Structure 1
Amino acid sequence: METAETQQISIGQIFGILRKHLGLILGSTLIITLVAGLMTFFVMTPKYAATSQILVNRKLSENMAGAQYQQNQADVQMISTYKDIITSPTVLRDVDNKMKGQPDYDSGIDNLKGSIAISSQQNSQVFSITAQSTNPNTAAKIANETATTFKQKVVKIMSVNNVSIVSKAAPSDTPVSPRTKLNIALGIIIGLLVGIGLAFLREFSDRTVTSEEFLTEELGLKGLGIISEINEADIHRKIEPRISRKKGTEDNELRMRRRV
């Protein structure tokens, strides 16, 4: 029972603090969300993506048709090796040389490697080369040049001819980053957390005595009295009638003296 009562009081105090500093929490949320929106729309540069798809498939002669399944599985296993070849300097160096001079292209093998992502589905003979750039046409050209160069290089490197391009990359005018909705949502969440943190920080750092219970229960002191705060208007409202009555009494005494 004691534990439940203590927990209920603690929860009540928490909600009381949040209610007390609601303006601070809302203000913090609004400011950080606004900053996130400004960063998303006016600071971050949009990036575009384009994807080229490659098929790994070695065709066998009719008299070896029974071994086609095993060959397909072998081709699937080779995709991991092909991914390493695509991101190797042997392929990227040629792609980088072909891409120099393209709009918004950052020259360099490291920059090129960072702009390329390779993905594949489990047990699929198709894998994708996705390139990103601040220019949609450049992104498509990177993906296509990478796929073409890889297809040419793998014949010499692996002595196989089982790679074909099944889908060329096409420019897309829809940016993949920044993600506007996600950034705004993160701004709201971070703003709320910061506001709540500031509310509790302000509450626990405030050493002002606001109630008699704090003195008697927390500090163990005895209350001798309470000094209430009164505004100036109340003071004038209470004092002026007394001054008027006192002045009237003095005037009456003065008149009586004159008569005597």
Structure 2
Amino acid sequence: MPWIYIYEDNINKKSSTKYMEEQVISISEIIDAVKKRWKIIALTTVLATVVSGIFSFFIISPTYEASTKIFIGKEGAESEGYNSSDVSMYQNLIKTYSELIKTKDLVNKAIDNSQYDLSVNNVLNGITVNTLTGTQILQISYQSKSPSIAKNILESITNEFITKAEELVPNGNVKILESVELPKNPVAPNKTMNIAIAFILGMMVGFGIVFLLEYLDNTYKNKEQLEKDLDIPVLGVIPMSDLD
């Protein structure tokens, strides 16, 4: 039932507006706002979670990653061993090899050998080359929507790289330490992470909407709010009945 509040008008409108603008929301008011509009929070949270789940499981295509590890050294190292200058040289040479793997000519030749109809730029975007710190090992990875394409393209790139590396450094020793295997599990999308993030974002959006609606609601629900905002006592309360 609506109410009419009767109070002593001993302040001007400017003062009243100032009190309204400078009011501070208490914890109890926040709790009351959440209790009153909890359905909005629940709706946005569930909606965001469901949409994220649909995209993660049914719309976004999974991405597979194949990888291999290659050792960069010199011929006869098993018998002669390495001195400090050799280790330093080959560690620096790895940086050159890292750039060699991602050259367009090498990738184009690897695509031709694999007999896949792929563009050079798309393959280059899927290649990742990492140098394992303090070692003479290169880790090469390739991502694709197809596990078989990921495996076969990376094998072709690796073989072409070994050929080019031997041409550049004839006395070098490039060995495959880890063969390319057919990837079984996708690396993306991370379904659990996507759903968790969507759950949190949906909840945050719901709270934001609730606080916005509460901020825009300038009606008084009880005499305590009126006394707090206007800093004047309420003299009486008259109930209003609905009129036809």
Structure 2-normalised TM-score?
A: 0.80
Task: Give the whole-Å Cα distance in 2 for the aligned partners of 1:118 and 1:153.
Answer: 16
Structure 1 residue 62, shift from structure 2 partner: 8.2
**Match of residue 99, structure 2, among 51, 64, 84:** 84
Structure 1 residue 156, shift from structure 2 partner: 2.2
Task: Give the whole-Å Cα distance in 1 for the aligned partners of 2:79 and 2:55.
Answer: 63
The residue type equivalent to 2:54 in the other structure is: L
2:11 counterpart residue number: none
Task: Give the whole-Å Cα distance in 2 for the aligned partners of 1:61 and 1:115.
Answer: 34
**RMSD in angstroms over aligned alpha carbons?**
2.6
1:48 aligned onto 2:64: yes
Task: Give the whole-Å Cα distance in 2 for the aligned partners of 1:140 and 1:229.
Answer: 77
Task: Give the whole-Å Cα distance in 1 for the aligned partners of 2:95 and 2:228.
Answer: 70
Task: Give the whole-Å Cα distance in 1 for the aligned partners of 2:219 and 2:77.
Answer: 90
**Match of residue 197, structure 1, among 204, 208, 211:** 208
Q: How does 1:29-40 map to 2 (within 5 A)?
A: 29-40=45-56
Change in CA separation of 1:62 and 1:113 when aligned onto 2, cut-off 3 Å? closer
1:116 counterpart residue number: 127
2:32 counterpart residue number: 16
Q: Which has the higher helix share?
A: 1
2:4 counterpart residue number: none
For structure 1, which runs of at least 5 residues remain unmatched after alignment? 1-7, 233-260
1:173 aligned onto 2:184: yes
1:57 counterpart residue number: 73
Change in CA separation of 1:214 and 1:73 when aligned onto 2, cut-off 3 Å? same
Is contact 2:132–2:139 with CA below 8 Å preserved after alignment? no
Listed one character per residue, the Cα deviations across residues 33-52 of structure 1 (whole Å, up to 9, x for unaligned) are 00000000111001111112
Task: Give the whole-Å Cα distance in 1 for the aligned partners of 2:236 and 2:178.
Answer: 86
Listed one character per residue, the Cα deviations across residues 119-166 of structure 1 (whole Å, up to 9, x for unaligned) are 232112222111111111110111111111111012223444221222
Task: Give the whole-Å Cα distance in 1 for the aligned partners of 2:198 and 2:108.
Answer: 40
Structure 1 residue 208, shift from structure 2 partner: 2.1
Structure 1 residue 205, shift from structure 2 partner: 1.1
Structure 1 residue 9, shift from structure 2 partner: 6.7
Structure 1 residue 169, shift from structure 2 partner: 0.8
Structure 1 residue 189, shift from structure 2 partner: 0.9
Is contact 1:154–1:160 with CA below 8 Å preserved after alignment? no
Change in CA separation of 1:92 and 1:62 when aligned onto 2, cut-off 3 Å? closer
Change in CA separation of 1:80 and 1:16 when aligned onto 2, cut-off 3 Å? farther
Q: Which has the higher strand share?
A: 2
Flag the structure with more relative contact order, 1 or 2, with Cα contacts below 8 A and sequence separation at least 6.
2
Q: Percent identity?
A: 26
Task: Give the whole-Å Cα distance in 2 for the aligned partners of 1:122 and 1:140.
Answer: 25
For structure 2, which runs of at least 5 residues remain unmatched after alignment? 1-23
Q: Residue 85 of structure 1 aligns to a residue in which SS?
A: helix
2:111 counterpart residue number: 96
Change in CA separation of 1:110 and 1:206 when aligned onto 2, cut-off 3 Å? same
Task: Give the whole-Å Cα distance in 2 for the aligned partners of 1:90 and 1:158.
Answer: 18
* Residues paired across the two proteins, number: 220
Structure 1 residue 99, shift from structure 2 partner: 3.5
**Match of residue 135, structure 1, among 131, 146, 154:** 146
The residue type equivalent to 2:38 in the other structure is: L
Task: Give the whole-Å Cα distance in 1 for the aligned partners of 2:114 and 2:172.
Answer: 25
Structure 1 residue 20, shift from structure 2 partner: 2.7
Structure 1-normalised TM-score?
A: 0.75
Structure 1 residue 180, shift from structure 2 partner: 1.0
Q: Which has the larger radius of gyration?
A: 1
**Match of residue 73, structure 1, among 81, 88, 92:** 88
